[in-house]
Chains A and B, each alone.
Chain A
């Protein structure tokens, strides 16, 4: 199975600060058709995950544009440009290029 390694495991930020989360894959996530099935989800405390980013860099519906995704191959990054209080929770990257779908171990964002 593809292993997704997220760093850091915990992130503490002040309101307005910009932060980045890294997701590194044990295999390239580029498929033979040229698609990269890498996603980012936020799970707020006590809630279901919500989609932030799909296909590396596409913003999910209704997601604020302070969230952005980048990367290729095996290295991917989620950036939050100006953290807000509602952004606290655990961020997961997920890949769907290789079966089975797998998730990273998560990055917990705390607000100082």
Chain B
């Protein structure tokens, strides 16, 4: 079955960067799209961007351009998201989700909590 396993919680200092991973299994990663989302606890969900694993092509929410960089490693069926120049406003849970039928998100990772604190 389809699985998306995200990396563990991160505690990072302001100004630093962090790389989150989303390891997949159970489907053909190299021809799939993956999206990433941000959710501050108790708040709604924001779409960060999407990447096509076939060629690494990306599309970003303008709000996250310069903050997030999406990449993939097809050899390990893993998607990555780099978050740079972190501030306390970047403290949130970040989810990966595979694009499925009719552009829906039927498969989600369990989320990674990023805490930015000195």
Contacts and interface: CB of A to CB of B under 8 A. Distances in A.
Contact of B47 (A50, A54, A100, A104): A100
A94 B105 CA distance: 10
Nearest to A106: B44
Contacts, number: 52
Contact of A49 (B61, B102, B103, B108): B108
B63 A48 contact: no
Contacts of A49: 45, 95, 97, 105, 108
How many chain B residues sit at the interface, stated as a range, is 20 to 34
Contact of B95 (A48, A51, A94, A104): A48
B105 A105 contact: no
B31 interface: no
A27 interface: no
Contact of B104 (A54, A100, A103, A104): A54
Contacts of B95: 48-49
Interface in B35-86: 35, 44-47, 59, 61-63
Contacts of A99: 59, 61
A96 interface: yes
B102 A58 contact: yes
Given A54-B102, A58-B102, A100 B63 contact: yes
A37 B45 contact: no
Name the residue among A48, A49, A50, A94 with the largest chain B CB count within 10 angstroms: A48
Given A49-B45, A51-B105, A60-B106, 10 more contacts: A37-B102, A37-B103, A41-B105, A48-B108, A49-B97, A49-B105, A51-B100, A58-B102, A60-B104, A92-B44
Interface of B: 35, 44-47, 59, 61-63, 95, 97, 100-106, 108-111
17 contacts: A41-B105, A48-B109, A49-B95, A50-B108, A51-B105, A54-B102, A54-B103, A54-B104, A58-B102, A60-B104, A92-B44, A99-B61, A100-B61, A101-B47, A102-B47, A103-B46, A106-B44
